[in-house]
Amino acid sequence: MIVIQKNASNDVVLTLKEKSTLTSPYYTFKFESDMTNNVVSCSATNMSTASRYDEFTFIETGSAAVSASVGIINLEPAGYWTYTVYETATSESISIPTSGSVETGRMLVKSATSESVVNSTYDNEQTYTVYTGN
């Protein structure tokens, strides 16, 4: 799971090259909020010098000041998101491709303030009777 801290620079390590079919791929990221279905796409430079993993830096601004072509994004609201990574032949592409997905996973966007995501359960057990008409 990726964890992104709002209003901060976040280093993310993934293993994408091993799933890529392009010789020298670039990557486009699609983030979708579980709560609002808000979609944010961006690209980021692979800073890894190792062949085993890929390393990216995302700057979460917490504001409208973004530059999606270089990984400067605003992921609103804080909470759980789904991410999908696509391989592309060109750099700085923020258009979401229709194919070429190399990884999908979960991401938690954490706020620096007291805002948090709470999953609630209920203690009251209820029994329902289903009538089939007989």
| Displacement of CA 44 from its chain's centroid (Å) | 13
Structurally, at CATH architecture level, domain 2-110 sits in Sandwich (2.60)
**68 vs 126: CA distance, rounded Å:** 48
Does this model's pTM top 0.85? My answer is: no
**b/e 38-77 (16+ beta carbons within 10 angstroms → b):** eebbbbbebeeeeeeebebebbbbbeeebebebbbbbbbe
Question: What is the pLDDT tens value at each position of the chain, 134 positions in all?
Answer: 999 999 999 999 999 999 999 998 999 999 999 999 999 999 999 999 988 999 999 999 988 889 998 999 999 999 999 999 999 998 877 888 888 899 999 999 999 774 555 555 656 677 777 766 66
- Residue spans per domain, the chain: 2-110
The predicted structure's pLDDT at residue 117: 56
Q: Which residue has 């808000």 as its token pair?
A: 38
Q: What is the pLDDT of residue 62?
A: 86
Q: Which of 111, 103, 113 is nearest to 4 (CA)?
A: 111
pLDDT for residue 120: 56
